Amino acid sequence: MSVPGPPSLDGVLAGPPDGLEAGGPTPGLRCCVRAFSSCGLSDTSPDEGLIEDLTIEDKAVEQLAEGLLSHYLPDLQRSKQALQELTQNQVVLLDTLEQEISKFKECHSMLDINALFTEAKHYHAKLVNIRKEMLMLHEKTSKLKKRALKLQQKRQKEELEREQQREKEFEREKQLTAKPAKRT
Protein backbone atom coordinates (compact mmCIF):
# COMPACT_ATOMS: atom_id res chain seq x y z
CA MET A 1 0.00 0.00 0.00
CA SER A 2 1.42 3.36 -1.01
CA VAL A 3 1.31 6.46 1.17
CA PRO A 4 1.59 9.95 -0.29
CA GLY A 5 4.87 11.65 0.51
CA PRO A 6 5.77 15.23 1.36
CA PRO A 7 4.82 17.93 -1.12
CA SER A 8 7.33 18.93 -3.76
CA LEU A 9 8.27 22.53 -4.36
CA ASP A 10 5.23 23.19 -6.55
CA GLY A 11 2.72 21.81 -4.00
CA VAL A 12 2.02 18.50 -5.74
CA LEU A 13 2.58 15.35 -3.75
CA ALA A 14 5.72 13.65 -5.02
CA GLY A 15 5.12 10.14 -3.74
CA PRO A 16 5.78 8.12 -0.64
CA PRO A 17 8.79 9.04 1.43
CA ASP A 18 11.63 6.57 1.73
CA GLY A 19 10.81 3.69 4.05
CA LEU A 20 7.03 4.05 3.91
CA GLU A 21 6.58 1.16 1.57
CA ALA A 22 5.04 -1.86 3.22
CA GLY A 23 7.24 -2.74 6.14
CA GLY A 24 8.76 -1.30 9.25
CA PRO A 25 8.89 2.15 10.72
CA THR A 26 11.25 4.82 9.47
CA PRO A 27 13.31 7.02 11.77
CA GLY A 28 10.91 9.90 11.11
CA LEU A 29 7.95 7.83 12.26
CA ARG A 30 9.59 6.59 15.42
CA CYS A 31 8.64 9.80 17.20
CA CYS A 32 5.04 9.26 16.16
CA VAL A 33 5.23 5.69 17.35
CA ARG A 34 6.62 6.96 20.63
CA ALA A 35 3.73 9.41 20.92
CA PHE A 36 1.34 6.65 19.96
CA SER A 37 2.75 4.40 22.63
CA SER A 38 2.58 7.12 25.28
CA CYS A 39 -1.14 7.52 24.61
CA GLY A 40 -1.75 3.98 25.84
CA LEU A 41 -2.13 2.33 22.47
CA SER A 42 0.87 0.13 23.06
CA ASP A 43 1.54 -2.66 25.55
CA THR A 44 4.80 -1.19 26.73
CA SER A 45 5.11 1.63 29.22
CA PRO A 46 6.32 5.04 28.15
CA ASP A 47 9.18 4.80 30.64
CA GLU A 48 10.97 2.16 28.64
CA GLY A 49 12.32 4.69 26.09
CA LEU A 50 12.56 4.21 22.38
CA ILE A 51 10.86 1.16 20.96
CA GLU A 52 12.94 -0.14 18.10
CA ASP A 53 11.48 -3.58 17.43
CA LEU A 54 7.87 -2.54 17.12
CA THR A 55 6.26 -3.66 13.90
CA ILE A 56 3.54 -1.45 12.65
CA GLU A 57 0.91 -2.67 10.32
CA ASP A 58 0.38 -1.06 6.96
CA LYS A 59 -2.91 0.42 8.05
CA ALA A 60 -1.33 2.10 11.05
CA VAL A 61 1.47 3.47 8.88
CA GLU A 62 -1.08 4.79 6.40
CA GLN A 63 -3.13 6.40 9.17
CA LEU A 64 -0.07 7.97 10.74
CA ALA A 65 1.12 9.30 7.37
CA GLU A 66 -2.35 10.65 6.58
CA GLY A 67 -2.51 12.24 10.03
CA LEU A 68 0.88 13.85 9.60
CA LEU A 69 0.01 15.08 6.14
CA SER A 70 -3.40 16.37 7.15
CA HIS A 71 -1.80 18.17 10.08
CA TYR A 72 1.14 19.79 8.26
CA LEU A 73 0.03 20.01 4.60
CA PRO A 74 -2.43 22.96 4.98
CA ASP A 75 0.19 24.97 6.88
CA LEU A 76 2.79 24.15 4.25
CA GLN A 77 0.44 25.15 1.45
CA ARG A 78 -0.39 28.43 3.22
CA SER A 79 3.31 29.01 3.74
CA LYS A 80 3.94 28.29 0.08
CA GLN A 81 1.24 30.75 -0.95
CA ALA A 82 2.59 33.35 1.46
CA LEU A 83 6.10 32.85 0.03
CA GLN A 84 4.77 33.25 -3.52
CA GLU A 85 3.01 36.48 -2.53
CA LEU A 86 6.18 37.65 -0.81
CA THR A 87 8.20 36.85 -3.93
CA GLN A 88 5.73 38.77 -6.10
CA ASN A 89 5.81 41.70 -3.70
CA GLN A 90 9.61 41.63 -3.76
CA VAL A 91 9.58 41.73 -7.56
CA VAL A 92 7.23 44.73 -7.46
CA LEU A 93 9.40 46.35 -4.80
CA LEU A 94 12.56 45.78 -6.86
CA ASP A 95 10.91 47.31 -9.94
CA THR A 96 9.79 50.30 -7.89
CA LEU A 97 13.28 50.62 -6.40
CA GLU A 98 14.86 50.54 -9.86
CA GLN A 99 12.46 53.28 -10.99
CA GLU A 100 13.34 55.39 -7.94
CA ILE A 101 17.06 54.84 -8.58
CA SER A 102 16.64 55.97 -12.19
CA LYS A 103 14.70 59.05 -10.99
CA PHE A 104 17.47 59.75 -8.48
CA LYS A 105 20.12 59.47 -11.19
CA GLU A 106 18.02 61.76 -13.39
CA CYS A 107 17.83 64.29 -10.55
CA HIS A 108 21.61 64.15 -10.17
CA SER A 109 22.04 64.69 -13.89
CA MET A 110 19.60 67.61 -13.68
CA LEU A 111 21.67 69.04 -10.83
CA ASP A 112 24.77 68.64 -12.98
CA ILE A 113 23.01 70.40 -15.86
CA ASN A 114 21.85 73.15 -13.53
CA ALA A 115 25.41 73.55 -12.27
CA LEU A 116 26.63 73.82 -15.86
CA PHE A 117 24.01 76.47 -16.63
CA THR A 118 24.99 78.39 -13.50
CA GLU A 119 28.63 78.21 -14.48
CA ALA A 120 27.75 79.28 -18.04
CA LYS A 121 25.86 82.31 -16.65
CA HIS A 122 28.85 83.19 -14.48
CA TYR A 123 31.27 83.05 -17.42
CA HIS A 124 28.82 84.93 -19.65
CA ALA A 125 28.69 87.72 -17.05
CA LYS A 126 32.51 87.76 -17.01
CA LEU A 127 32.60 88.02 -20.79
CA VAL A 128 30.09 90.88 -20.74
CA ASN A 129 32.23 92.71 -18.17
CA ILE A 130 35.40 92.15 -20.20
CA ARG A 131 33.62 93.42 -23.32
CA LYS A 132 32.48 96.55 -21.47
CA GLU A 133 36.02 97.13 -20.22
CA MET A 134 37.41 96.64 -23.72
CA LEU A 135 34.90 99.13 -25.18
CA MET A 136 35.75 101.62 -22.44
CA LEU A 137 39.48 101.16 -23.05
CA HIS A 138 38.94 101.54 -26.80
CA GLU A 139 37.07 104.81 -26.24
CA LYS A 140 39.82 106.08 -23.92
CA THR A 141 42.57 105.14 -26.35
CA SER A 142 40.75 106.78 -29.26
CA LYS A 143 40.27 109.95 -27.15
CA LEU A 144 43.95 109.85 -26.17
CA LYS A 145 44.95 109.41 -29.81
CA LYS A 146 42.83 112.40 -30.81
CA ARG A 147 44.30 114.46 -27.98
CA ALA A 148 47.82 113.35 -28.87
CA LEU A 149 47.17 114.24 -32.50
CA LYS A 150 45.83 117.67 -31.48
CA LEU A 151 48.83 118.23 -29.20
CA GLN A 152 51.20 117.19 -31.94
CA GLN A 153 49.50 119.49 -34.42
CA LYS A 154 49.58 122.32 -31.86
CA ARG A 155 53.28 121.71 -31.21
CA GLN A 156 54.01 121.61 -34.92
CA LYS A 157 52.06 124.81 -35.36
CA GLU A 158 53.94 126.44 -32.47
CA GLU A 159 57.27 125.26 -33.91
CA LEU A 160 56.25 126.54 -37.30
CA GLU A 161 55.27 129.88 -35.77
CA ARG A 162 58.58 129.99 -33.84
CA GLU A 163 60.46 129.15 -36.99
CA GLN A 164 58.61 131.86 -38.85
CA GLN A 165 59.28 134.26 -35.97
CA ARG A 166 62.97 133.42 -36.08
CA GLU A 167 63.03 133.93 -39.82
CA LYS A 168 61.27 137.26 -39.41
CA GLU A 169 63.79 138.26 -36.74
CA PHE A 170 66.60 137.04 -38.90
CA GLU A 171 65.22 139.06 -41.82
CA ARG A 172 64.80 142.06 -39.63
CA GLU A 173 68.30 141.71 -38.30
CA LYS A 174 69.49 141.31 -41.81
CA GLN A 175 67.72 144.43 -42.82
CA LEU A 176 69.01 146.25 -39.76
CA THR A 177 72.61 145.40 -40.39
CA ALA A 178 74.46 148.12 -42.05
CA LYS A 179 75.20 147.78 -45.65
CA PRO A 180 78.21 149.47 -47.12
CA ALA A 181 77.29 152.17 -49.53
CA LYS A 182 77.91 151.67 -53.15
CA ARG A 183 80.36 153.96 -54.72
CA THR A 184 79.54 154.95 -57.93
For residue range 155-182, list pLDDT tens digits in order.
Answer: 999 999 999 999 999 888 888 876 777 7
* Interatomic CA distance for residues 44 and 130, integer angstroms: 109
Question: Residue 7, SS3?
Answer: strand
- 69-118 pLDDT tens trace: 999 999 999 999 999 999 999 999 999 999 999 988 888 888 888 889 99
Where are the chain's structural domains? 59-145
Q: Which residues pair with 13 in a beta bridge?
A: 7
CA distance 32 to 65: 10
pTM value is 0.36
